[in-house]
Amino acid sequence: MPHTWEHLNLTKIPFEDAISRIEKCLRYFEENLDGFEVTDAVYNFAFNASTPELEQYVLSRVRAVRTGGPSAINEIPDDVTPLRISCKSMGPGNIDRWVEGQVNSFLETNGGWLVLNTHGLDEERWGPVSSTYLTKLLKRLIRIDSLMVIPAGEVFRLNKG
């Protein structure tokens, strides 16, 4: 899914420049990715940084935006309403313990959609998880009958007839 043309914090540049970069990214995806539909896309704001104005504009073009927020737990969306997905991230170093804490806290709630923004595996990028930890975590989570571990885009299909 689109994650900006340049990895810029769009809240730090003029609104018109931010929109221009967003449109450039969406156009590139449309022109170069077979099957990509802007109206089905989730636009992921770099640095989890957005403004209400940027979100409003982007939500007029895409299915959802992913950005930072006070909680990483979201309601399961319907298939129609444009959506603001709130997430959390951590870094710069390994975030295995942080992810474990977030997942365990989520498992104690009444449910919803937990969205954590991680960046890479092992030693790559900012805020990576270790591949060993991720494998163990996924094996543990898929054994919980009341929990679904699915790609983010599939969440939108849950409430389709």
The verdict on 61 and 124 lying in the same domain is no
pLDDT tier for residue 119 given thresholds of 50, 70 and 90: confident
60 in the same domain as 93:
no
Based on the fold, state whether residues 95 and 161 are members of the same structural domain: yes
Same domain flag for 29 and 97: no
What's the rounded mean pLDDT across residues 36-49? 92
Closest CA to 40 of 150, 148, 118, 155: 155
Residue pLDDT, tens place only, 107-116: 999 989 999 9
Are 32 and 96 members of one domain?
no
Contact between residue 15 and residue 53 where contact means Cβ atoms under 8 Å apart:
yes
Domain count, the chain: 2
Q: What is the mean pLDDT of the chain?
A: 91
Rounded to an integer, what distance in angstroms lies between the CA atom of residue 64 and that of residue 80?
10
Q: 157 pLDDT exceeds 60?
A: yes
Answer whether residue 56 shows pLDDT above 80.
yes
Average pLDDT over residues 62-79: 89
What string of H, E and C letters represents the secondary structure of the chain?
Answer: CCCCCCCCCHHHCCHHHHHHHHHHHHHHHHHHCCCCCHHHCEEECHHHCCCHHHHHHHHCCCCEEEEECCCCEECCCCCCCCEEEEEEECCCCCCHHHHHHHHHHHHCCCCCEECEECCCECCCCCCCECHHHHHHHHHHHCCCCCCCCCCHHHHHHCCCC
Residue 160's pLDDT band (cuts 50, 70, 90): low
The whole domain housing 113 covers 89-161
Amino acid 159: pLDDT: 64
Task: Please tell me the predicted confidence (pLDDT) of residue 123.
Answer: 87
pLDDT surpassing 60 at residue 161: no
Q: Considering the domain boundaries, does residue 42 fall inside one?
A: yes
58/97 same-domain check: no
